[in-house]
Amino acid sequence: MKQFEFNLVKEVGRERAVLHRLAPHLVVPEKMVLPLIKGGSLGKTMTSIGLYIYDFLADVDGADKRLMLEKDEMLAIEPLLPGEKLLGGSIYAEYRTDDARLTIEVIKTGYRHGALPINYLKCIRILEDEGQAIGAECEDQISGKRLSISAKHVINAAGPWVDQIRAMVETISGKRLYLTKGVHIVVPKEKLPLNHAVYFDVPNDSRMIFAIPRLDVTYIGTTDTYYEGDKEQVKVSRQDVEYLFKCG
């Protein structure tokens, strides 16, 4: 929303609503608190309008729609907010997804419909016929054996490695995947005992960060910085950690 990516917000929100309907045990609404601070980049009117548009585009249900709150109401639900700088804020719903379990459920559902899930296979080469992908040559990472798999449709769903797969069949030019690194720090919940997830803008920065309580810890993040290093060995730097402490 902050970057005016309205179509993206609409698409992600509607897809999220579908997942919540199909797997409510894995996609759970979670209230987010958005404080408005003196000198911050967010004002009451624009925040209210922005979250109203977000609710509309993302097809948010009535009980989860945004609610604008005054300063005393914000402090009542989150006493740790800086009262001397607090102007008010809002509370709205995001959805927390257990992505690992959701992936397993998708695989299980595919299997029930006739798919053959295969693990530990590495794509070595894309098989083509007259410029059309018709399958892949793969290597079993356990036995070392190679096999060819044919298919009517080939989908490149390799995540951060998507351009590496593309490079097997074409020269990468024009649009390509923009990789970012998101770092979080984890502290004991008694160090930051929040009642809700809190989402706030960073002074003199275009990014926003959050603090999310979960069980006996609180997660603080994310850095979301451009990354072009080894995707197999992504590491946290001191600069990443210092950025999050400075923003907090």
- For the segment 177-211, what is each residue's pLDDT rounded down to a tens digit? 999 999 999 999 999 999 999 998 777 677 788 99
pLDDT tens, residue by residue, 37-67: 887 777 888 888 888 887 887 777 777 888 9
CA distances from 57 to 16, 24, 52, 235 (A): 12, 20, 9, 36
Q: CB 223: neighbour CB atoms within 10 A?
A: 21
pLDDT higher than threshold 80 for residue 141:
yes
Residue 51 · residue 90 · CB < 8 Å? yes
CA distances from 70 to 36, 77, 83, 141 (A): 10, 11, 12, 58
pLDDT score recorded for residue 246: 80
CA distances from 46 to 1, 39, 49, 50 (A): 11, 15, 5, 6
pLDDT tens, residue by residue, 78-132: 999 999 999 999 998 888 899 999 999 999 999 999 999 999 999 999 999 998 9
Mean pLDDT of the chain: 89
pLDDT score recorded for residue 121: 94
As assigned by CATH, the class of the 178-248 domain is: alpha beta
- Dist. CA 125–CA 138, nearest whole Å: 7
Entry pTM:
0.76
Q: Which helix (H) or strand (E) holds 124?
A: strand 121-129
pLDDT higher than threshold 70 for residue 25:
yes
Q: List for the chain the helix, strand, coil content (%; round to 5).
A: 30, 30, 40
* First CA to last CA distance, the chain: 22
pLDDT band, residue 1 (cuts 50/70/90): low
Q: Where are the domains of the chain?
A: 1-116, 118-176, 178-248
* 2 or 15, higher pLDDT: 15
Short-list 233, 207, 235, 203, CA closest to 38: 203
* 153 or 42, higher pLDDT: 153
Burial 32-59 (b: 16+ CB within 10 A, else e): bbbbbbeeeebeeeebbebbeebbebbe
Residue 119 · residue 233 · CB < 8 Å? no
